[in-house]
Chain A
Amino acid sequence: MGKFKLFWKNNGIGYLFLTPWLIGILTLTAIPMGASLYFSFTSYDMFNAPTWVGLDNYLSLFSDAKWLQSVKVTLIYVLLGVPFQLAFALFIAVILNKGIGGLRVYRAVYYVPSLFGGSVAIAILWRQIFGGNGLVNNILGKFGFEGINWISTPDTALYTLIILMIWQFGASMVIFLAGLKQVPVELYESAKIDGAGSLKQFFQITLPLITPVVFFNLVMGIIGAFQAFTPAYIVSGGTGGPLNSTLFYTLYLYQKGFTQFAMGYASAMAWILLIVIAFATAIVFATSKKWVYYQG
């Protein structure tokens, strides 16, 4: 049998089954990506043929104050939002894992915000909660504090979005819960016999054993946070305001591409984002050897 025939015999069916996916990734991912890479080296207004400008788009990014602002906003969002969200998700997962009554109900309740994910409805709800006459200020008022318009004040707007992200901890919590279930009960039992308290148990047994799950959630969290768009778009009405304080990277990209007709520039931004995400992920992977512990 020829090499190809052998290959086909062994793998043919597999590729056949893969066909729908292959078509999908080619037409919906690979070709558009190629096109966007090309556009990033051109000046392209989406109506007329692109003209080649080489590295101009990439170079002018660095003198664009709004671009720098969007980088800053996104980095704050990622660096604050992701760790806090993970810590919070783990905290709740540990509590739920203690075997309290009605676990299923809690699991569902905490997961619901994540289901709504980046939905428009939630972002609008958020605007209400943190608005001048919103829930937060009502509660503060009960304690005698005078609230501010959280979402409409440049100093606080981004942090309300970070809180929104932390609130959507459900997805990572469910994964943490699954991880916690895998920790062998015997370990806790022997630790108890040796007199370890619950804090010690957590840091000596639980955390090391679920580091693979932490690793997974961290990577997914970073990738997701870099690409966040909907909350800022809805909460700021698409402007990234007030005063560009919620101008997420993807929001600025969208503005450039779709309202200012600078698709070449926007494509260059997209590729920088891709590189940064790849770089951030690579760092997490590289350090993972030091802190991720795989059993067995």
Chain B
Amino acid sequence: MKRSLLLFTMITLAFLLLLGCSSNEDDSNNESSDGGSEEQIEISFSWWGDTGRHEKYNEIIDLFEEAHPTIKVDRQFGGWGDYWDRLTTQVSGGNAPDVVSMHQFYVSDYARRGALHVLNDKVESGELDLSDYPEAALDSGKVGDDIVMVAKGITMPGFVYNTAVFDELGVDYPQSDWTWDDFVDKAYEIKEAIGEDGWAIEDGSGGQLQPLFRYFARQHGQDLFTEEGKLGFEEQVLTDWWTMWDQMRQDGVIPDAATSNEYDGLPLEANMFATKKVALLGLPANQMYLYEEQMAEGEINIVRDPHIDGGPNGEYIEGAYLSITEASPHKEAAAEFIEFFVSNEEAVKIFKTEQGPPAGTEASNTVIEELTPPEKRAVEYIQTTVDLSEPAPYAPEGVNELETLFSDNAEAIAFGQKSVEQAVADFMNEAKSILGE
């Protein structure tokens, strides 16, 4: 008797559980029939970042919810790597957040597949007021003629160094206007000074296609891609690139392949630069202050990525963006949220230069007064280099596959499995077939 009672209870519970699940679904269905502004609605917002950023964004969202009592914001956040995997899954599953953080490199994969809401109407009507955005900042959120994302912050990459580390090594600081030859010379100089304890710089041959290799291609008057979404650079550029790094690797100026692999993806406080295993680091300027906080002594300064003597600039505008997904049932509320995020005075003061200084002129002016010295240095650097930047074509569909192909082949050289010539040939062939050439 007891036994059957137990069984009965369990089955009842199981049924209740099922009912519970289905009634949840009902709730969300109700929500999607939005409309009445009095009604309580919920939008979701996702971003990538570290703990510090999560705290800031949560604060901004709290402010927004206070100002808009009828809108609740569901928060989804995590690290950069997982972010993109999760977003793909969510978009394909039809449950993507209403507002998503976007990035130039990935935006076309989503925009060209119709997953992002085109904001032109909302911007023209002033529903999403971006009137004080500089033309270039607004344009950087376009794919073709469509505005598909709004800049949270604009940033520029460069090489950072810690003055204390350089002083200790007795090496002169790098000059902002340096060429790749200067760069290589400096790397050998650092290695000489640092001895067995470290290297000049992390292996920059592979990893992501941009910014470093992209700058290199642009400085040759080419680019990663053409406007038509084909491969935009010649074999020689890639050969030069990998040869330069391979030589430094063989001379022990940069770490060997296994060491690089071991440090791959470690958090900031454990990476090669923070632990002084390397003296130079390629970094988006907005993150400079994090290293200054972490490393305690010395100033973190930044110089431009090296260039080619007499060649064109590599710079193009980079940043972090907000988009509204096409499937979102709450596009109005989502637009309100984005506008609040990028222009509300209190929100902007919390954001400061978290992902680069705000793109809007007024917001950017508000922020400047609130900055710590390393943040100020970053903003000055960004403002100077943005002026040097030229537009860049968007990545075509399949860019994810290209990135993997690029890092696979760079790694094969590093581990001595392929010669530079072989890796270049393999990359060019497969890249062309991925891009349908």
Q: Is the CB of A243 within 8 A of B417?
A: yes
* A255, chain B: closest CB distance, angstroms: 7
Interface string of A240-284 (1 = CB under 8 A from B): 011110000000000100111101000000000000000000000
Q: Which residues of B contact A46 (CB under 8 A)?
A: 88, 91-92
Interface centre among B81, B114, B415, B417 (most CB of A within 10 A): B415
Q: Which residues of A contact B408 (CB under 8 A)?
A: 243-244
* B13, chain A: closest CB distance, angstroms: 10
Q: Which residues of B contact A182 (CB under 8 A)?
A: none
Q: Is the CB of B92 within 8 A of A149?
A: no
A20 contacts partner chain B, Cβ-Cβ < 8 Å: yes
A263 to B115, CA, bound (A): 16
**Binding stretch for chain B, among A73-81, A150-158, A195-203:** A150-158
Q: Which residues of A contact B264 (CB under 8 A)?
A: 237, 241
The answer, among A20, A238, A260, for a CB contact under 8 Å with B14, is A20
A290 to B76, CA, bound (A): 55
A154 to B258, CA, bound (A): 8
Q: Which residues of B contact A154 (CB under 8 A)?
A: 415, 417
Q: Is the CB of B114 within 8 A of A255?
A: no
Q: Which residue of B lies closest to A46 (CB)?
A: B92
Q: Is the CB of B417 within 8 A of A153?
A: no
Interface string of B245-288 (1 = CB under 8 A from A): 00000000000011111101100000000000000000000000
The answer, among B81, B262, B398, B411, for a CB contact under 8 Å with A149, is B262
Q: Is the CB of B18 within 8 A of A20?
A: yes
Interface secondary structure of B, over-half rule? helix
B113 contacts partner chain A, Cβ-Cβ < 8 Å: yes
A131 to B263, CA, bound (A): 10
The answer, among B14, B397, B400, for a CB contact under 8 Å with A259, is B400
Q: Is the CB of B261 within 8 A of A242?
A: yes
B34 contacts partner chain A, Cβ-Cβ < 8 Å: no
Q: Which of A9-51 contact B (CB under 8 A)?
A: 17, 20, 23, 45-48
Q: A154-B415, A237-B264 are in contact. Are A242 and B257 (CB under 8 A)?
A: yes
A148 contacts partner chain B, Cβ-Cβ < 8 Å: yes
Q: Which residues of B contact A241 (CB under 8 A)?
A: 261, 264, 411
A46 to B400, CA, bound (A): 15
A132 contacts partner chain B, Cβ-Cβ < 8 Å: yes
Q: A20-B14, A47-B113, A237-B265 are in contact. Are A132 and B259 (CB under 8 A)?
A: yes
A245 to B74, CA, bound (A): 39
The answer, among A48, A131, A132, A259, for a CB contact under 8 Å with B114, is A48
B89 contacts partner chain A, Cβ-Cβ < 8 Å: yes
Q: Is the CB of B81 within 8 A of A238?
A: yes
The answer, among A23, A132, A243, for a CB contact under 8 Å with B411, is A243
A238 to B404, CA, bound (A): 11
Q: Is the CB of B114 within 8 A of A47?
A: yes
A153 to B265, CA, bound (A): 16
A244 to B261, CA, bound (A): 12
A190 to B393, CA, bound (A): 83
B85 contacts partner chain A, Cβ-Cβ < 8 Å: yes
Q: Is the CB of A152 within 8 A of B92?
A: no
B178 contacts partner chain A, Cβ-Cβ < 8 Å: no
Q: Which residue of A lies closest to B112 (CB)?
A: A47
A2 to B427, CA, bound (A): 71
Q: Is the CB of B88 within 8 A of A261?
A: yes
The answer, among A47, A131, A255, for a CB contact under 8 Å with B91, is A47
Q: Which residue of A lies closest to B402 (CB)?
A: A260
Q: Which of B379-437 contact A (CB under 8 A)?
A: 397-398, 400-401, 404, 407-408, 411-412, 415, 417
Q: Is the CB of B84 within 8 A of A259?
A: yes
The answer, among B113, B260, B400, B415, for a CB contact under 8 Å with A48, is B113
Q: Which residues of A contact B123 (CB under 8 A)?
A: none
Interface centre among B114, B397, B400, B417 (most CB of A within 10 A): B400
Q: Is the CB of A260 within 8 A of B401?
A: yes
A182 to B398, CA, bound (A): 58
The answer, among A152, A258, A260, for a CB contact under 8 Å with B262, is A152
Q: Is the CB of A242 within 8 A of B14?
A: no
Q: Which residue of B lies closest to A21 (CB)?
A: B14
B11 contacts partner chain A, Cβ-Cβ < 8 Å: yes
Q: Which residue of A lies closest to B398 (CB)?
A: A260
The answer, among B15, B88, B258, B412, for a CB contact under 8 Å with A20, is B15
B203 contacts partner chain A, Cβ-Cβ < 8 Å: no
The answer, among A48, A151, A243, A261, for a CB contact under 8 Å with B412, is A243
Q: Is the CB of A237 within 8 A of B81?
A: yes
Q: Which of B210-269 contact A (CB under 8 A)?
A: 257-262, 264-265
Q: A237-B265, A242-B411 are in contact. Are A153 and B89 (CB under 8 A)?
A: no
* B268, chain A: closest CB distance, angstroms: 15
A7 to B298, CA, bound (A): 83
Q: Which residue of B lies closest to A244 (CB)?
A: B408
Q: Which residues of A contact B14 (CB under 8 A)?
A: 20
The answer, among A47, A131, A239, A260, for a CB contact under 8 Å with B92, is A47
Q: Is the CB of A149 within 8 A of B261?
A: yes
Interface string of A280-295 (1 = CB under 8 A from B): 0000000000000000
A242 to B256, CA, bound (A): 12
A23 to B92, CA, bound (A): 24
* A154, chain B: closest CB distance, angstroms: 6
* B431, chain A: closest CB distance, angstroms: 14
A263 to B400, CA, bound (A): 14
Q: Which residues of B contact A149 (CB under 8 A)?
A: 258-259, 261-262
* A23, chain B: closest CB distance, angstroms: 7
**Chain B interfacial positions (CB closer than 8 Å to A):** 11, 14-15, 18, 81, 84-85, 88-89, 91-92, 109-110, 113-115, 257-262, 264-265, 397-398, 400-401, 404, 407-408, 411-412, 415, 417
Name 11 extra pairs, CB < 8 A, besides A47-B92, A153-B258. Answer: A20-B14, A20-B18, A46-B91, A149-B259, A239-B404, A241-B264, A242-B257, A242-B415, A243-B415, A255-B404, A261-B109
**Chain A interfacial positions (CB closer than 8 Å to B):** 17, 20, 23, 45-48, 131-132, 148-149, 151-154, 237-239, 241-244, 255, 258-261, 263
Query: Can you list 25 A-B pairs, Cβ within 8 angstroms, ordered by A?
Result: A46-B88, A47-B92, A47-B110, A47-B113, A48-B113, A131-B262, A132-B259, A132-B262, A149-B262, A152-B259, A152-B261, A152-B262, A154-B415, A237-B264, A237-B265, A239-B407, A241-B261, A241-B264, A242-B258, A242-B411, A243-B408, A258-B89, A260-B400, A261-B88, A261-B109
Query: A-B pairs with the 10 shortest C-beta distances?
Result: A46-B92, A47-B113, A152-B261, A152-B262, A152-B258, A149-B258, A237-B265, A242-B261, A20-B14, A260-B401
